[in-house]
Amino acid sequence: MTHQAVYFLRELMFNLTRNVMMSIAAASTSTVSLLTFGISLIMVYNINNLATEITSQVEIRAFLSSTISNFEVKNLEEKIFEMPQVKSIEYISPDRALDKLEEDLNIELDISPEENPLPHGLVIKVTHPREIGNVADFVRGQDSVEEVKYGETILRSILAVSMFIKIIGYVLTVIMGSGALFTIMNTIRLTVIARRDEIRTMQLVGASGWFIRWPFMLEGIALGAIGAVLASLILSAAYFFTAGKIHEALPFTFPLVSGAVMARILFLLLFLVGSIMGFIGSYISVTGFLSEKK
């Protein structure tokens, strides 16, 4: 480790312990801000997971002409499958549709193949829910296709709600991040002002701006990182507890992101955001102070 690195780390520890109350206040504000950010992340990830789970089950059902031949069905499948948005196609014959109906209703219908009123059908799945409308329009335009259904209204509602939740999450993130950034800036600025004579001496002996900045920037990063670790621990514990209660209370499986996955996401993203927030706040504060002294 170089002498510069040792100096920077020593200065970091000195700055953090010089004014303990200010450091605690800055770290606490970072924690609160990142808690809100983390709650936004939890909401966004789980809404996305729910939307993905529901939309992945959305499929296009195309009902075909009763006079269509097997050869025409094969050609139609190949034509539709040429679209890059199409993930899979399954042909449902009238006999198979009848078997499925009997299975769902748990009864046996006395219907001969000649009397079977159910149509030939195709079940089409797409690579992304947003592509389903384009694929449905293409399928609807084929000669042998009589009707196409895919739950258009429900799908649009799900995607709209998902986007709304994302926007709310992003807005909260910006607001709370700005609050934490402002607090860290002020904390670092107070530290800089308290050491203004020392900084002035360093400037007089020729210390570069970056040499002066780094200890304070490391302090900002440390304050943001401490807040991130505390926030991720609190949120992870709360998420494990809440997810367990939800699964106990609901009679069906709610598609929540697993606790282990969410804990990793929270720690990595909060640590990254907290560190960047501390870096930016301290950089702005120190650079502003040095500019005033020129």
Q: What is the pLDDT of residue 48?
A: 76
Considering 104, 127, 150, which residue would you say is the last residue of a domain? 150
Do residues 33 and 88 share a domain? no
Q: Are residues 119 and 256 in the same domain?
A: no
pLDDT number for residue 180 = 66
In this prediction, residue 293 carries a pLDDT of: 55
292/268 Cα distance (integer angstroms)? 36
**What's this model's pTM, rounded to 2 decimal places?**
0.67
Report the SS3 class of residue 62: strand
Percent of the chain with pLDDT over 70: 85
Alpha-carbon gap, residue 22 to 223, rounded angstroms: 10
pLDDT the model gives residue 294: 55
pLDDT for position 234: 95
Helix-strand-coil percent breakdown of the chain, rounded to 5?
75, 10, 20
Percent of the chain with pLDDT over 90: 7
Pair (73, 198) in one structural domain: no
Instruction: Please provide the DSSP assignment of 141-178 as one string.
Output: TSTTEEEEE--HHHHHHHHHHHHHHHHHHHHHHHHHHH
Domain end, chosen from 150, 165, 187, is at: 150
Please identify, among 133, 150, 167, the residue that sits at the C-terminal boundary of a domain. 150
CA distance linking residue 38 with residue 236, whole number of Å: 9
Give the strand order in the sheet containing 121-126: 86-92, 121-126, 60-64, 145-149
Neighbouring residues of 158: CB distance < 8 A, sequence distance ≥ 6: 51, 54, 55, 129
Does 20 share its domain with 162? yes
Looking at the structure, tell me whether residues 146 and 166 fall in a common domain: no
Give me the domain span that covers residue 136: 59-150
- Over the stretch 252-269, which tens digit does the pLDDT of each residue have? 667 788 888 999 999 998
Among the listed residues 195, 191, 262, 185, the one whose alpha carbon sits nearest the alpha carbon of residue 224: 185
Q: How many domains does the chain have?
A: 2
- pLDDT greater than 60 at residue 147: yes
Q: Are residues 168 and 218 in the same domain?
A: yes
Q: If 0-12 CB within 10 Å is exposed, 13-18 middle and 19+ buried, where does residue 103 land?
A: exposed
Q: Are residues 267 and 243 both part of a single domain?
A: yes
Q: Can you say how many angstroms the Cα of residue 284 is from the centroid of all Cα atoms in its chain?
A: 29
Top-confidence residue, 152 or 219: 219
Cα–Cα dist 61/91, whole Å: 10
